[in-house]
Amino acid sequence: MIKVQHLSKRYGDLVVLKDISTEIKKGEVISIIGPSGTGKSTFLRCLNLLDHPSSSSIHVDGCNILDKKADIAKVRQKMNMVFQSFNLFSHLSVMDNLTLAPMKLLGKTRDDAEKKSLDLLRLVGLAEKANSYPDELSGGQKQRIAIARCLAMDPEVILFDEPTSALDPTMVSEVLSVIRKLAQEGMTMLIVTHEMSFARDVSSRIFYMDQGLIYEEGTPEQIFDAPQKERTRNFIHRIRSCVFEITSPDFDLYALNGEVEAFCDKQFLSRKTRNKVLLVIEELLMIYKPLLETIALELTVAYSEKNETLALVCESGGNQCNPLEGDHLVDDLGVNLIKQFSTDIAYGWDGDKNKITVSMQATRGV
């Protein structure tokens, strides 16, 4: 369906895309992940001819779209794009947003265009909003309208550039559900996303982009569970964990709890798991509190999707001593509670730091 050969793109002296070659088959769903600023958007924009690559060929259905004779409007119809910021026409009703391009560019009659648009609005669950204006809709609704508008052009490929990044967390799943449905129906899609669980579920392949390249690619299992290259490994590890530096007994517990909650939500952990994590962290911090007068604590919360486990890692300086057994403990209540909620508690000394690792079962879903 798509064949990219030696695609590169530079802005002045800045080389954004170095040398990208890849092939994408019909019906494939590719999620593109990677740190920001690595050219993910630029890659999609080059495919859609919103940016012009410096050199290469891009064949879509056997036709080189970089050829001067290529019909840009036709290319964009075949390979339509959905943006992070929706890009709806605010002065047009939802229906007019959907029918405009099919009437103008595909030569459809208003009747035909409206009929098809209504079907698409039903598909994304928003037929009731046909006569509303974009400003009257939530972010999630706007993005679903943008997807319907994209589908109105009968594309063969859809390019999504972070379709949920501008949304409130509560609205992410309604948009992802629509994309999931398209995947089930066999739509070919390239999706730049930070939603890793979604990417794992929905994709046939994952592209990890870094350093202007598709640095590593593979099945979701290969990339998320067993990345081969160092930068991929670091990235995957980073998105699976959050780290807190706690340097005094007067640290901001509310802010920490908020971040832990957001992290759990992002990993789609259940409410029960989230509450368990918050409770264990609170107990751990109570135990460490007297120590925090003199030493700093680094707390890492890491989730392993593969094993469905969470690890709470507490690293602290000071003398070699198990912080869960020291003289500073008032009683065993906290430690017992932690034991009750965990599957394992390990203590280690690496010559420099005391390290407690509390492992616990983590379930996903509501």
CA torsion through residues 268, 262, 277, 206, sign: positive
C-alpha 137/C-alpha 94 separation (Å) is 10
DSSP-derived pairing of the beta strands 14-24 and 29-33 = unpaired
Measured from the CB atom, the residue of 37 and 351 that comes closer to ligand ADP is: 37
Among 24, 28, 31, 40, binds ligand ADP (CB under 6 A): 40
What minimum distance in Å lies between the beta carbon of 44 and Mg ion? 8
Please give the angle made by the CA atoms of 326, 361 and 164, to the nearest 5 degrees.
Answer: 115
Task: By CB under 5 A, name the binding residues for Mg ion.
Answer: 41
DSSP string, 212-274: TEEEEEE-HHHHHH---SHHHHHHHHHHTEEEEEE-STT--HHHHHHHHHHHHHHTTB-HHHH
What minimum distance in Å lies between the beta carbon of 36 and ligand ADP? 4
Among 36, 68, 350, 351, binds ligand ADP (CB under 6 A): 36
Indicate the residue whose CB is closest to Mg ion.
41
DSSP-derived pairing of the beta strands 29-33 and 188-192 = parallel
Q: How many residues does the chain have?
A: 366
DSSP letter (8 states) at residue 134? G
What minimum distance in Å lies between the beta carbon of 51 and ligand ADP? 7
Q: 38 touches which of Mg ion, ligand ADP, none (CB within 5 to 8 A by kind)?
A: ligand ADP
> DSSP E strands: which ranges in 39-114?
55-60, 63-64, 79-82
Measured from the CB atom, the residue of 6 and 115 that comes closer to ligand ADP is: 6
# chain residues binding ligand ADP, by CB under 6 A: 10
How many whole angstroms from its chain centre is CA 106? 33
**Per-residue contact flags (x/-) with ligand ADP for residues 41 to 60, judged by CB under 6 A:** xx------------------
The burial of 81, by beta-carbon neighbours within 10 Å (0-12 exposed, 13-18 middle, 19 or more buried), is given as buried
Among 7, 16, 236, 297, binds ligand ADP (CB under 6 A): 16
Q: 37 touches which of ligand ADP, Mg ion, none (CB within 5 to 8 A by kind)?
A: ligand ADP
Is 13 a binding residue for ligand ADP by CB under 6 A? The answer is no
Is 38 a binding residue for ligand ADP by CB under 6 A? The answer is yes
Measured from the CB atom, the residue of 41 and 267 that comes closer to Mg ion is: 41
Q: Which residues bind ligand ADP (CB under 6 A)?
A: 11, 14, 16, 36-42
